[in-house]
């Protein structure tokens, strides 16, 4: 699946727009020859030849000679050169920072991982990020251009200043300037919230389920949400979606890593619940992917801590619905993998009700997919790099 969505407003002349449309058709696999391009775009053969010549010269497209069934010249086949451009993505994976080099078609060319200790501060995390960025650059195949580095982060982020303010995985980290660390190594740097990136990719892959207003709620180590309207995430320059840090009187004076007390996360996030869960099941992992498989068969609903977590999150989510009025809510994370707990949470959420004239949003569980996050984070960089190459011709 192509990660590139071209913005036609960037192309001033008719020839530039024809070039961009032709490239989009080839990249999507909808056109494989000059004849198909001419028919789909309504171009004369001379205009098509000029467009194809530009795309081949920029190495965005490869023209190969195919077989012929009879006399005459063999038919030429047009293929997108999907490894013409690559983007690096650095993201959080449990107690590690992971890196992926992604091509235009969303294929992962290389992956790297660096374990970061729980007590790591700014310097150690910056060093791990810089090491990942250098390693991914070294892994680039010959002929690939680098579009930049996307950093997809959980926790509290100041997108305007490019700072990672805090993360529950690494409580000693505060105000890390991501661009200052990575721009000299593998810039340009694009910083995004992980849930915004995931929601962007999910909506691109499945437009119909994500039409209208959609919330993506992650219930795992932390709790956060993203919102999209018709597949376009609402991602302001500042912070957004910090549902986990809504303060609830029912949670009293429980201390949160953000500096406040009584935050939703103190009663419902994995970091708060894991000690109680391990008293019953000591072998539980903190990696969310592995933990989801472990939690699936357990009788979690019988635990008072889990009941409090479900009730607190259901009330907070219902209140968020009165702010954003979504038609659909997708929930990811290890807790949603337990059928009994999911049914209990679903019932509690529906019992919260809604306002007269509005229906309760559909609530569905989805697998937490880091590939979605990687694709959503890389897409803007890859799109801008492809547009730059298309504009550079003529």
At 142 the pLDDT is 94
Find the mean pLDDT for residues 110-136.
Answer: 96
What is the tens place of the pLDDT at every residue in 289-325? 999 999 999 999 999 999 999 999 999 999 999 988 9
* SS3 per-residue string spanning 180-249: HHHHHHHCCEEEEEHHHHHHHHHHHHCCCCCCCEEEEEEECCCEEEEEEECCEECCCCCCCCCHHHCECH
Q: Which CATH class is domain 8-81?
A: mainly alpha
Find the mean pLDDT for residues 107-125.
Answer: 95
Going by CATH, does the domain composed of 207-369 fall within 3.40.605.10?
no
Q: Which CATH class is domain 85-197+371-385?
A: alpha beta
Average model confidence (pLDDT) across the chain: 90
Helix (H, G, I), strand (E, B) or coil at 96: strand
Find the mean pLDDT for residues 220-232.
Answer: 87
**Backbone torsions φ then ψ of 368, nearest 5 degrees:** -70, 115
Contacts of 299 (CB under 8 A, 6+ apart): 340
383 and 4 Cβ atoms separated by less than 8 Å: yes
CA dist 208 and 164 (Å) reads: 33
Indicate if the pLDDT at residue 69 is higher than 70. no
pTM of full prediction above 0.75: yes
Tell me the pLDDT band of 258, cut-offs 50, 70 and 90.
confident
Tokens of 156: 């509290």
At 159 the pLDDT is 87
Asked whether the domain spanning 207-369 has the same topology as the one spanning 85-197+371-385, the reply is: yes
At 87 the pLDDT is 97
Most confident of 160-169, 191-200, 292-301, 346-355: 292-301
Cα–chain center distance at 255 = 30
- Cα–Cα–Cα angle for 107, 385, 9, rounded to 5 degrees: 120
Per-domain boundaries in the chain: 8-81, 85-197+371-385, 207-369
What is the tens place of the pLDDT at every residue in 15-42? 899 999 999 999 988 999 999 999 999 9
- Strands 108-115 and 96-103 turn out to be antiparallel
């Amino acid at each position: 699946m192509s990660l590139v969505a071209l913005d036609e407003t960037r192309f001033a002349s008719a020839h530039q727009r024809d070039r961009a449309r032709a490239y989009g058709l080839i990249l999507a696999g909808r056109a494989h020859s000059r004849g198909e391009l001419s028919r789909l775009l309504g171009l004369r053969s001379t205009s098509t030849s000029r467009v194809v010549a530009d795309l081949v010269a920029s190495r965005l497209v490869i023209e190969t000679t195919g077989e012929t069934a009879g006399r005459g010249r063999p038919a030429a086949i047009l293929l997108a050169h999907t490894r013409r451009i690559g983007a690096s993505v650095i993201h959080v994976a449990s107690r590690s920072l992971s890196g992926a080099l992604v091509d235009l078609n969303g294929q992962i060319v290389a992956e790297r991982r660096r374990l970061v200790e729980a007590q790591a501060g700014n310097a150690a995390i910056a060093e791990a990020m810089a090491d990942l960025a250098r390693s991914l650059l070294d892994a680039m195949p010959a002929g690939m251009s680098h579009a930049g580095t996307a950093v997809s982060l959980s926790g509290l982020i100041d997108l305007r200043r490019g700072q990672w303010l805090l993360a529950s995985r690494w409580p000693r980290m505060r105000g890390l300037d991501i661009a200052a660390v990575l721009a000299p190594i593998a810039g340009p740097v694009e910083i995004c919230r992980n849930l915004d990136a995931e929601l962007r990719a999910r909506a691109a892959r499945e437009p119909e389920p994500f039409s209208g207003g959609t919330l993506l709620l992650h219930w795992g180590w932390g709790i956060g949400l993203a919102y999209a309207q018709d597949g376009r995430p609402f991602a302001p320059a500042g912070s957004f979606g910090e549902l986990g840090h809504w303060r609830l009187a029912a949670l009293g004076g429980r201390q949160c890593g953000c500096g406040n007390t009584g935050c939703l996360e103190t009663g419902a996030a994995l970091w708060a619940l894991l000690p109680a869960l391990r008293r019953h099941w000591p072998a539980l992992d903190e990696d969310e992917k592995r933990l989801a498989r472990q939690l699936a068969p357990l009788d979690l609903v019988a635990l008072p801590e889990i009941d409090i977590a479900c009730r607190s999150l259901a009330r907070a989510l219902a209140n968020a619905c009165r702010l954003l009025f979504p038609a659909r809510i997708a929930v990811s994370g290890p807790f949603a993998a337990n059928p009994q707990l999911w049914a209990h949470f679903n019932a509690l959420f529906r019992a919260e009700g809604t306002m007269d004239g509005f229906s309760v949003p559909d609530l569905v569980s989805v697998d937490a997919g880091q590939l979605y996050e990687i694709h959503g984070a890389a897409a803007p960089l890859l799109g801008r790099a492809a547009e730059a190459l298309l504009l550079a011709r003529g």
